[in-house]
Structure 1
Amino acid sequence: MKLGVFTVLFSQKPLEETLDYIASKGLDAVEIGTGGYPGNSHCDPDVLLNDAAKLKQFKQAVESRGLIISALSCHSNPLHPQKPVAKEAQELITKTIQLAEKLEVPVVNTFSGCPGDHEDAKYPNWPVAPWPNDYQEILKWQWENKVIPYWTEVGKFASERNVKIGLELHGGFSVHTPATMLRLREAAGEAIGANLDPSHMWWQGIDPVQAVLILGKAGAIHHFHAKDTSMDTNNVNMHGVTDMQSYTRMLDRAWQFRTVGFGHDLKTWADIISALRLVNYDYVVSIEHEDGLMSIDEGFTKAVQNLQQVLIKEPLTEMWWV
């Protein structure tokens, strides 16, 4: 496995300064945002797709530092009920897939999106209860009319360009659990898989090790994020796991994102890494730092130090003791 980082963390720094800093930490890979929620401060598809010299310069900037690009990321809501919002996200995903093909990057990460509850809705509607039955009707309409048709088309487009789609399982979007991931993959094809982030499993009450095994056995893990979550039992009892309070209310929230090792111990992270190896995931573990208690540099550095202790890097050999 290789250790990487999602460079959106360093959006205030120029690309080459960011790459120098990441290389100095001994990392192997970078995941780079192309727009949407992550922004495009380090990688603008409109520029790179239309300027061969700048595309070459961009690729050399990464490779000359001994790094690879693990994924291009354009997290957004391509199924947003407001058509201009959806169109912008859809165009970004298309451009990012095209850019990934040119850069020979195997994965594009994004969200599945979440539609509204009817064709003329204004806002997304995320059904999370089976009753009253209205929610079941909404869910059926969303998947049959929006989720499956769109991702079937995108999966085909990506597959033709030797690119895989890594959907991040995230609350608020149609694909947010292993089950919803596998449901879409079965309908839309094997180009569609997970950008699995254990932090979003923990707050939903899902064991990330089991999520790895479930998705890994199906060959459905295309990319992996390394981010932690801490749970506050008293606040969970008050607000539940779907706590709607701002992330800034850290004393009051049921859960919050932490850097690796500060929500769960390294034994837990070693179990996650071992599960990834068990299901033959031998690609990049990409650090995503969204810890409200640590600076960018400190949170990133501690994540690197902790993951370097548990990451399995060397290739498998024969079982000499068998």
Structure 2
Amino acid sequence: MRLGVYDAILHDRPLPDAIRVVADLGLTGIELNTGGFLPAAHVPTFDEILVSDAARDDFLGLFEGTGVEIAGLNCNGNPLHPRPEIGERHAQDVRRSIRLAERLGQHRVVTMSGLPAGEPGGTRPNWIVNAWNSAALDVLEYQWGIAAPFWRDMDALARDHDVKVALELHPQNLVFNTATIRELVERTGATNVGVELDASHLFWQQMDPVAVARELGPLVVHAAAKDVRVNHEVAALHGVLDNRFRRLSPDEPRVNLGGDEWVNEWPTDSAWDFVALGRGHDTAYWTEFLRALREIDPDMWVNIEHEDVSLGRIEGLEVAAAVLTAADAALGEA
């Protein structure tokens, strides 16, 4: 497998320094953020690269001789958000990222399916968690009516640029599990939309990423290595849909998600947490994860995403890289 890092955790330093961090970890790829919820911090000449071969060559020159290459582009966001300052901007970021991918010789753009409002005129996304009543199914049908033509058009754009769009199966999106990605493909006839298999969001939904990989097969075109620890004593009381988040005030450090939407503070005694690889599932599990991905595509990129708040930026990457490279080595020996 090809192993790398998603660069969001390294946005605190310029790209050449981020590349050195990845190389020092013994990894060979860096997945670059190109919009959506987060800015394209490591692609400051984005607009120039789209039109100038010189700008493109200068950017690619930053990777020459480093042993690290670009391992896909990432513009996670909500391209179906009903408010144009979020939805339309994120959708444009996906389109621009597809065009940028072709310019950079890349074939993977990671994003999310998005989530519309639940009815005409709505201004907030509406995630149907459990459609036990008929009104919830009405909401879903309305949302699919928005999502299907959008992704049909995006699929055509990706096909024209020889790119596969890899959707992260992320809750608070219309596509978040095996059934919903299959429904998207069925409704659109998509050939260039697949899955970025991020194990973490599957873990806390009580799904098995290895089983999901084998179920979806070639629909999986990219992967993220991120772990989750379920805190069973807390989950026993609140469930994994634990919703005890705190709104952060404007004078507190917070991350903007577009418009007037911000990341909330995580519960202090949460039902589950994002953790570095190995802190939720051991190396043997990650070996099986890589095995399932290798059965689909031995050259697939598997990129570490670090969101373990108990570890520093580099410390967390070092912990994760040690587990991932050990899993890859065990797979090679097998």
Deviates more, 1:2-11 or 1:81-90: 81-90
1:4 maps to a residue whose letter is G
Q: How does 1:120-269 map to 2 (within 5 A)?
A: 120-143=121-144, 145-188=145-188, 189-216=190-217, 219-246=218-245, 248-249=265-266, 251-269=268-286
Checking the alignment, whether the CA contact within 8 Å between 2:287 and 2:331 is kept in structure 1 is no
Tell me, in whole angstroms, the C-alpha distance in 2 between the residues paired with 1:303 and 1:243. Answer: 26
Structure 1 runs of 4+ with >6 Å offset: 313-316
1:220 maps to a residue whose letter is L
Checking the alignment, whether the CA contact within 8 Å between 1:114 and 1:174 is kept in structure 2 is yes
Give the drift of 1:248: 4.9
The 1:249–1:37 alpha-carbon spacing in structure 2 relative to 1, beyond 3 Å, is closer
1:212 match: secondary structure = helix
Q: Which TM-score applies when normalising by structure 2?
A: 0.89
- CA displacement 1:282-312 (0-9 Å, x = unmatched): 3111000000111111110011111111115
1:311 match: secondary structure = helix
Alignment of 1:285 onto 2:284: no
Tell me, in whole angstroms, the C-alpha distance in 2 between the residues paired with 1:162 and 1:249. Answer: 39
Query: Which residue of structure 1 lines up, in the alignment, with residue 16 of structure 2?
Result: 16
Across the aligned residues of Structure 1 and Structure 2, the Cα RMSD in angstroms comes to 1.9
Tell me, in whole angstroms, the C-alpha distance in 2 between the residues paired with 1:34 and 1:280. Answer: 25
- CA displacement 1:157-192 (0-9 Å, x = unmatched): 101110000000001001100111122123331201
Aligned equivalent of 2:312, options 279, 295, 306:
295
2:229 match: secondary structure = strand
1:211 maps to a residue whose letter is V
Query: Which residue of structure 1 lines up, in the alignment, with residue 248 of structure 2?
Result: none
The 1:63–1:222 alpha-carbon spacing in structure 2 relative to 1, beyond 3 Å, is farther
Q: Give the number of aligned pairs.
A: 314
Give the drift of 1:17: 1.2
Give the drift of 1:53: 2.3
Give the drift of 1:54: 2.3
Q: Which TM-score applies when normalising by structure 1?
A: 0.92
Query: Which residue of structure 2 lines up, in the alignment, with residue 270 of structure 1?
Result: 287
For structure 2, the 5+ residue unaligned runs are 246-263
Query: Which residue of structure 2 lines up, in the alignment, with residue 26 of structure 1?
Result: 26
1:157 match: secondary structure = helix
Tell me, in whole angstroms, the C-alpha distance in 2 between the residues paired with 1:15 and 1:313. Answer: 31
Deviates more, 1:7-16 or 1:267-276: 267-276
Q: Percent of counterpart pairs with the same letter?
A: 33
2:130 match: secondary structure = coil
Give the drift of 1:33: 0.3
